[in-house]
Amino acid sequence: MAELSSFQAFIQCKCPRCRKGEIFTGSAYSYKLQKTNIYCPHCNLKFEREPGFFYVAMFVSYAMNVAEIISIGVASYVLGLPLIYENLWYYVGIILFGVLLCSPINYRYSRVVLLHYLTPGLHYVPGSGDLVKEV
């Protein structure tokens, strides 16, 4: 199996150390509740580096929400919804619908951004986890 690049591992929500193990159980839009694995199933990396580690993901998710709100509002205007007072509730409804539609992606990728790019000392180690299961 070919090794994944950093960007491919990010997009596929793979472990930042081995790039093989899944960070989440299930898909983003499944009927099951998506959960973050405690340990990487391949290299046994503990994803929650310290107590409360994923609280920082709320700030990343907030930034993603702001970008989505601005993008959806501008896209609505560009696609022909006039920016007048009578259309205020149309904008609010469209933006809320878009944010709710993107919330599973925000949950997932805010944690992936935190693990892959904002955690100091957590880097790719080729071959990590290959010998862990044999013991």
| pLDDT for position 132 | 52
| pLDDT for position 28 | 81
Distance CA 94, CA 106 (A): 18
- Give the DSSP H or E segment for 106: helix 88-117
Contact 110, 11 (CB under 8 A): no
The secondary structure of 2-45 as a DSSP string is PPPPHHHHHHTTB-TTTS-SBSEES-TTSSSPPEE-SB-TTT--
pLDDT band at 95; cut points 50, 70, 90: very high
Structure tokens at 115: 């693990």
**Residue 46 three-state SS:** strand
Structure tokens at 70: 């601005």
In this structure, of 34-38, 110-114, 115-119, 127-131, the range with the lowest mean pLDDT score is: 127-131
| pLDDT for position 79 | 94
Domain limits of the chain? 6-118
| pLDDT for position 135 | 45
| pLDDT for position 131 | 60
| pLDDT for position 94 | 96
